[in-house]
Structure 1
Amino acid sequence: MDNHTSLGLLAAFGLPLVLLLLAVSLLRNKYRSDLSSIPGPPLAAYTKLWRVYDVWKGQAHWTAIALHRQHGPLVRIAPNVVSVADADEISKIYSVKGDFVKTAFYPLQSISWQKKPQMNLFSTRDETEHREQRKKIASAYSMESLLKMEPAIDECGQLLLRKMGEYADHGEAVDLGTWLHYYAFDVVGALSFNSRFGFLEQGKDVDGIMQANAVILLYAALIGQVPEAHPFLLGNPLFPILVPQMESWNAVLVFTLKAINARIKVARGGEIELEGGQGGEDMLSKWAALKALDPTKITTRDMVVHLSANVFAGADTTATALRAIIYFLVKNPAKMTILQQEIDTADANGKLSNPVSDKEARTQLPYLNAVIKEAMRLHPSVGLLLERHVPVGGATICGKYICGGTIVGINPWVLQHDPKIFPAPESFEPERWLESEKSREQLVVMEKHFLAFGAGKRACIGGNISMIEIRKIVAQLLRDFEVKIEEGHEWKVKNSWFTQQQMPPCTLKRRSVG
């Protein structure tokens, strides 16, 4: 048989065969016995491409809310993926037992170091590894440890306020959302390395770290919907070998390694020497001192992975929350007035220091805490499904049996916009979190639906860091300045895993209190 004849047969039978196999695959997806009765977008039952396109548009959080309001607590958003909108299922899906394991979406968000992927607390799917790694570092994220570093947070806050004062004094509009992002990054740098990144001093994205994070998040959001494509893209195991400089593309990793190398010397015999002496309160100092005492307790690899994870996850999520707080207050001036009156009264009564301490913000400013909670409810930082695999043997979720291996999860936006729990869910109503307005039982139910930091044993380890810096800077900023946004201007929100916002220009005016 000559080549011409072979090509003719391939054209005659090959393409129809491929199309037939594709049709069989799509129909098999659609009519899976355990999922075929679960409602959702018609195309989503056949192919993952519906979900990829929805994420690519950048508004998947609103899509999820609309679908659940239309279809109920279970919605099929891909052939093997079910979105859940029932807080009663949180304890099952995010169980402390860890039998619902993380999906392939998460390892995409790991650094590549020493020519291979390095799993962090967030990205690892191995529950044993997560438990062992968390044991090594959890104490550094406790409130007790973090409050010892409060002066470092104060330095960042005071620097931000000085910069904002310059804009106010010159009558210039300011991109406050970006400056809040700078603040969040510099706090993470100070707490992690005892060294700010320099964002606030320089007023810019130093070394392209913010841009690098944005690219990583976009990649994770899109390719995370089809993780089987990752080994052929950035997850190709040949990349680090064929392109060794690939690791230098990650500005977060580069800064982490630079910070570690600047502070630590490895003497002969493997002993650790920390520049500037031992005893620092930042995480690098603590972990280096631990390693010096007992190299088996924590490795250099552990320090690189966990410090870079601080930078990757901590700053963007905190900045998203800060922008939401300021934006909703500016858009609801009556709420802003109540909060500033609370701050002014506490200040006049000698209950606030300068700068405001976290303890003061927590205990003396109840309306501030309600404002923070409501803004994070209305605009949680995470905008996609917190995915888990149903364990072998299957599980019953919302009264429906679902086979093992199926991906299930809850989108925080869906629970936190549930009108049955939060009446007028799109309204900014801090009062709903105050005990004087709600019974204790109602507040417990609301807390159950609050997933801003995740749930279960895989909940965000850095939640305390975020809340300390948020409480302090919001109180200080609003004590010192009036913040305005020009009438009619709105923010722009893009959901690339994190629901980050582009704020319109703000004008600041110094306040004269008392």
Structure 2
Amino acid sequence: MGADLPDTILTNLSVGFFVRGVKAYPFHILAGIIVLRLLYNKFCRGITKVPGPALAAWTGLWRFADVNKGDAHNTAIRLHKEHGKLVRIGPSHVSVNDPAAIPVIYGLKSGFTKTAFYPIQCISWNKKPQMNLFSTRDEQYHRDQKKLVANAFSMTALLDMEPYVDACTTLLMSQLDSRTKSVDLGEWLQYYAFDVVGELCFNKKLGFLETGGDVDGMMGTIAGILEYAAKIGQIPELHHILLGNPLFPILLPSMETWNSVLTFTLKAINTRCSIQRNGELEVKKDQVGGKDMLSKWASAKLGDPLKIGTRDVIVHLSTNVFAGSDTTAIALRAIVYLLLKNPSKMEKLLAQIDAADAAGLLSNPVSYKETQTHLPYFGAVMKEAMRVHPSVGLLLERHVPAGGATICGEFIPGGTIVGINAWVLHNNAQVFPNPEKFEPERWLESSDEKLTEMERSFFAFGAGSRTCIGKNISLMEMSKVVPQLLREFKVSLADPGKEWKTRNMWFVQQSGLVCNLERRK
């Protein structure tokens, strides 16, 4: 009889049974859906052979909980020691610990693309998310934008602005001169990094060194953005109903003012140029004569309005302020702290600085070129500090291309998220013997073959086309301010027996670098 019923009647009956079933057993059906999803996560992703924490294969909540603890980098190191080169840390996430996988995953033509973790870290301006070089997943957009601004980040262009950095170094030394006991040197190094970025971007300090504190709440804002990105980035689908909700900028237009980094950038631009009500940047010839990035990009817009847009200027400058301070400050703290915890290394470096100084080889402040030429041990110290304590503490995620890929001898299906964590790779004992030790000498005394292997495995700035564009800014700052600091002051820990604290919220921030300072004769 059922076969004689019209299709519409059968459909209606089926829908009716389903609706009544949902009403009668809502929790049973929901539980069934959840169970099916969990089973799919565990067994149908094509990576069941990859070992890892039992719970991680079932749900992304394991990864969220791990990041929430603020120690995910140490968890990752432990897991790779336990399971080997590949570790499954999510239903479709695989962490990789093999330098041979760097060109496979991050090579220029690898086909591996950024994941949904990255767009979370863009600004909202004019009621729209505005992607930057770091956050965009569009490779063509990245290439186009990089062509516009890459020259400003070249070491040649930055050294042209070295006097701006010298002004910040001189101000930092002056401020420290009057604060010699129980100085939170870690905070002052971050103030320095902020003000250097201000000079390079806007030809003016941001005010951190002058006030000795946070300016316009920017440090707090950045910390909040990083924490949000670290946690929500593990379950990026949530971003679309949270801060990434497209209705928010419309319903709450004031939310754009919550980002004090963006607000400060707009204010700094308006002191030199003028952002009109229609959102266009109005530039006059007498406003763009400097060597700083705002001058260069505003001048390019003046010469060819179609070459670089107002949006581009705002996005790149605000990104510099956001990303160029914390990462460099983390590296600076690592250098100082690890030297203080290893007195023999500190003595060796001081001896080289003093010898170069006595020979009249160092300017005041120390120049970048002088450090590269006359202080080779500092170059090794700097690199080893970034190896022991890289700034970024989570996976640099990429999507495996559609055809899949073989990584560490294991076939990984297309769509799987893979990546390398710098903390894991830098603790690979096959590449870096005794990785837990701070040994700058490894960069000076290793064989050419070993040195090449270590260089290829150094991941502090990422790899491939997405290597950190601000790398040269960090290298220049570190090469100048640390030798000058140690040249002028005897630095010691206020409490030598106390360890600093670290917290991994995307960037592995440190606290507790409290020092005593004494003027050196």
Q: How high is the TM-score relative to the length of structure 2?
A: 0.94
Please report how far the alpha carbon of residue 449 of structure 1 lies from its aligned counterpart in structure 2 after TM superposition: 1.0
SS in 1 for 2:517: strand
Structure 2 distance, partners of 1:268, 1:113, is: 13
Please report how far the alpha carbon of residue 7 of structure 1 lies from its aligned counterpart in structure 2 after TM superposition: 12
Identify which range, 12-21 or 240-249, moves more after superposition: 12-21
Task: Quote the RMSD (CA, aligned, Å).
Answer: 1.8
- Cα pair 2:395 2:419 within 8 Å, conserved: yes
- Cα pair 1:271 1:292 within 8 Å, conserved: no
- Matched AA of 1:465: I
- Cα pair 2:273 2:281 within 8 Å, conserved: no
Match of 2:411 in 1: 401
Q: Is residue 286 of structure 1 aligned with residue 296 of structure 2?
A: yes
Match of 1:442 among 436, 446, 450: 450
Match of 1:88 in 2: 100
Instruction: Show the 5 A alignment for 1:222-301.
Output: 222-265=231-274, 272-274=282-284, 277-301=287-311
Q: How high is the TM-score relative to the length of structure 1?
A: 0.95
Match of 1:125 among 134, 137, 140: 137
- Cα pair 1:141 1:461 within 8 Å, conserved: yes
Structure 1 distance, partners of 2:506, 2:292, is: 29
Match of 2:72 in 1: 60
Structure 2 distance, partners of 1:212, 1:378, is: 27
Please report how far the alpha carbon of residue 273 of structure 1 lies from its aligned counterpart in structure 2 after TM superposition: 3.1
SS in 2 for 1:263: coil
Match of 2:345 among 335, 350, 357: 335
Please report how far the alpha carbon of residue 275 of structure 1 lies from its aligned counterpart in structure 2 after TM superposition: 7.8
- Cα pair 1:98 1:127 within 8 Å, conserved: no
Match of 1:27 among 24, 39, 43: 39
Structure 1 distance, partners of 2:405, 2:419, is: 13
Number of equivalenced pairs: 502
Match of 1:323 among 312, 333, 339: 333
Match of 1:108 in 2: 120
Match of 2:50 in 1: 38
- What is the identity percentage for the equivalent residue pairs of Structure 1 and Structure 2? 60
Structure 1 distance, partners of 2:45, 2:227, is: 33
Please report how far the alpha carbon of residue 279 of structure 1 lies from its aligned counterpart in structure 2 after TM superposition: 2.5
Alignment CA distance shift 1:136-1:33 (3 Å) = closer
Unaligned runs of 5+ in 1: 1-5
Match of 1:305 among 315, 331, 343: 315
Structure 1 distance, partners of 2:138, 2:276, is: 34
Alignment CA distance shift 1:26-1:279 (3 Å) = same
Please report how far the alpha carbon of residue 277 of structure 1 lies from its aligned counterpart in structure 2 after TM superposition: 3.8
Instruction: Show the 5 A alignment for 1:107-506.
Output: 107-168=119-180, 172-265=181-274, 272-274=282-284, 277-434=287-444, 437-485=445-493, 486-506=495-515
Structure 1 distance, partners of 2:299, 2:60, is: 48
- Matched AA of 1:505: V
- Matched AA of 1:119: M
Please report how far the alpha carbon of residue 11 of structure 1 lies from its aligned counterpart in structure 2 after TM superposition: 6.8
- Matched AA of 1:196: K
Please report how far the alpha carbon of residue 503 of structure 1 lies from its aligned counterpart in structure 2 after TM superposition: 2.2
- Cα pair 1:174 1:507 within 8 Å, conserved: yes
Deviations 1:263-318 (A, max 9, x none): 01479998843485433110000011111111111111000000001011110000
- Cα pair 2:50 2:88 within 8 Å, conserved: yes
Structure 1 distance, partners of 2:68, 2:27, is: 30
Structure 2 distance, partners of 1:115, 1:95, is: 35
- Matched AA of 2:519: R
- Cα pair 1:343 1:365 within 8 Å, conserved: yes
Structure 1 distance, partners of 2:188, 2:276, is: 40
Structure 1 distance, partners of 2:434, 2:57, is: 32
Structure 2 distance, partners of 1:135, 1:472, is: 28
Higher radius of gyration, 1 or 2: 2
- Matched AA of 2:490: E
Which stretches of structure 1, 4 residues or more, deviate above 6 A after TM superposition? 6-9, 266-271
Unaligned runs of 5+ in 2: 1-17
- Cα pair 1:489 1:504 within 8 Å, conserved: no
Structure 2 distance, partners of 1:230, 1:51, is: 16
Deviations 1:366-424 (A, max 9, x none): 00000000000000000000000001111111111111111000000011011111111
Structure 2 distance, partners of 1:420, 1:194, is: 45
